[in-house]
Amino acid sequence: MDALIVIFITGLVGLFVGMMKKPVLTLSITITGLVTAFILTLYARSYESIFSKYNGLSTSPLTDAFSLLVIGLTILIVLGGFNYFKKDKEHTSDYYGLMLFSLCGALIMIAFNNFFMFFLGLEIMSIPIYVLVGIKKSNVLSSEASIKYFFTGSFATGVLLFGIALVYGATGTFDLLTINSMRGIAEPSPMFHIGVLFILAAFLFKVGSVPFHFWSPDVYQGSPDAIMSYMSTVVKVSALCAFVTLFSNVFMDSKHVYLIILEVFIAISFIFGYVSALKQSNLKRMLAYSGISNTGLAMLTILNGDFGSLWFFLLSYTAATICIMTLSQAMDKIDSEDISNWKGIGYKNPIIGVVIIISFLSLSGIPPLTGFFGKFLILSNSFQNHLWLVIIGLISSVIGAFLYLRFIVLSMAKDSNAEKICLSPLHFVIIGLSTIVLLFGWSILLF
């Protein structure tokens, strides 16, 4: 709660300071605010907050862990995007302000307590992103992405609201705890089930899973690198967290209705994402499609309410995504979106090569990298009830490994014409941090 307020105020202050058109100042204010929020969340359990009695949000060590993840990711993205943002002096503070407001929404999505806050969080998170996606006004792809995301997103919001209204009609309350306490007492009305299905549809859209995934490749491709990494990490983390909160707990009563739907969509996501990614020649589209499969894997945790594995898997997935996207931003001389331009980059620049190897191997789930343990946790926790999904997941991860390995092979080719890239200190720090997470993140599990 304190972190939320700090971030909001930082965003406001940043916007005003932005009038001075000093990018470095805006950056330092933003980072200060974010780091303060990070520390506040880290020690949230050890001091008495003045806002602790707020009814809309309920925090627990679990929500703190997710909040830490999204704030940490935002810090990395803010730092990594700086070289790009500062070129556009007029709008540097807009980027940062919007990103911070969106982060507020994400934090609410993680800790919400009733449907009202949930809807508020979702909208606060989404609306700044509609703007951020279209911020390159003169770029056709960017405008297309923004419009596309806005229209489909608003439609999803409408569906979500309709679903919430139906659930409200069936239970007479917005409060999750009250709905929880009604569970199992009486058979809920069909209205409840229909409402849950509507909410499910909206969620599938937000996390970008089959069958509502069509926006994600286009939107990812159109948006700037930093915004794309924000969408594929922070937004995904918070949406998945809310997804699990609602469906593994509150909506248990209609599990028999949505279970089979969810299982089928997860299974299709597994295969569809990687298979479509095989044909992509654009890095962002490839990541978007493979992200569909990774989302499918994360959605397995919904079936047994497994927050711990979800967190750990998302940690590995987001760290790898940040690594790759930061590398892509570091390659400013060549068009990093075209995959064929990565040929030989890793061989020519050994450090970048090692980072590429580590992040893609982690994504494909090769031990002892963190990505393996993320996948392992999810699969081993759900194999008892959903053996077939686990087997499909394993098979799909072979396709994924092929996809990622092909990229490694391409970037590691002996090619003397490849560009020599010097990493700026900022990028170096970000890549270093996320590589450490990928290499040694699994040691968290030992404590």
Partner 1 sequence: MALLVLPIVLALLSFLIPQKLVRYFGLAGALSSLVVALGHLSYFNPERYVSIFDPNKLFPLGLSFKMGYDGLSLTMVLLVNAIVTIILLANFAKELAENKTFTALVFLMQFGLLGVFLAQDGLLFYGFWEITLIPIFFILYWFGQQNNNSVLLKFFIYTLLGSLGMLLSFIVLGTNVQSFAYNDLAVAGSFMASKMACWVACGFLLAFAIKIPLFPFHTWQPNTYTTAPMAGTMLLSALMLKMALFGMIKWMIPITYNGFSEIKWLIITLGSIGIVYGAIIAIKQKDIKTLFAYASISHVGLIAAGIVLFTQTSLESAVIQIINHSIVAVGLFFAADIIESRTGTRNIYELGGIAKLAPRFAFWFALMTFVSVSVPFTAGFIGEFLLIKELFMAHWVTGLFASTTLVFGAVYMLRAYQVSMFGTPKMTSFEDLKWNEILVFASLTVAAILIGISPACIMNFVKPSIEHINELMVGSLNFIK
List residues binding partner 1 (CB under 8 A): 357, 361, 366-368, 372-373, 376-377, 379-380, 383-384, 390-391, 394-395, 397-398, 401-402, 405-406, 409, 412, 414, 445-446
Cis peptide before 350 (omega within 30 of 0): no
207/377 with CB nearer partner 1: 377
Pairwise CA distance, residues 418 & 440, whole Å: 30
Q: Please name which of 77, 174, 57 lies closest in space to residue 124, comparing C-alpha atoms.
A: 57
DSSP state, residue 223? S
Judged by beta carbon, residue 116 or residue 383, the one nearer partner 1 is 383
**Least distance (Å) between residue 398 CB and partner 1:** 5
Name the minimum Å distance from CB 38 to partner 1. Answer: 25
- What are the helix and strand counts (H, E) for the chain? 20, 0
User: By C-beta, is 226 or 390 nearer to partner 1?
Assistant: 390
Q: Where does 231-306 have alpha helices with state H?
A: 236-247, 255-277, 283-304
Residue number, 56 or 308, with CB nearest to partner 1:
308
Which of 267, 309, 332 has its CA nearest to residue 84? 332
Q: Which is nearer to partner 1, 299 or 357 (CB)?
A: 357
Whether the CB-CB separation of 77 and 234 falls below 8 Å is answered with: yes
Q: Which is nearer to partner 1, 260 or 445 (CB)?
A: 445
Which H helix or E strand runs over 402?
helix 387-411
Min dist. Cβ of residue 414 to partner 1 (A): 7
Q: How far is the CB of 366 from partner 1 (least distance, A)?
A: 5
Return d(Cα 223, Cα 430) in angstroms, integer: 21
- CA dist., res. 418 & res. 99, Å (int): 34
Q: Which residues partner with 102 through β-bridges?
A: none
Smallest gap from Cβ 409 to partner 1, in A, equals 6
Taking a C-beta distance cutoff of 8 angstroms, is the pair 251, 196 a contact? yes
Measured from the CB atom, the residue of 264 and 395 that comes closer to partner 1 is: 395
> CA angle, corner 170, sides to 167 and 174, nearest 5?
50
Q: Which is nearer to partner 1, 235 or 399 (CB)?
A: 399
- Give SS3 for 415: coil
Of the pair 4, 390, the CB lying nearest partner 1 is at 390
CB of 347 to partner 1, least distance (A): 8
In the complex, the smallest distance separating the C-beta of residue 280 from partner 1, rounded to whole angstroms, is 17
Query: In the chain, what is the straight-line distance between the N-terminal and C-terminal CA atoms, in Å?
Result: 27
Q: In the structure encoding, which two tokens stand for residue 98, read together?
A: 């919007």
* Strands of 291-372, DSSP E: none
Q: What's the min distance (Å) between Cβ of 391 and partner 1?
A: 7
Q: How far is the CB of 445 from partner 1 (least distance, A)?
A: 5
Residue 435, token pair as written in the block: 């590589």
DSSP state of 60: -
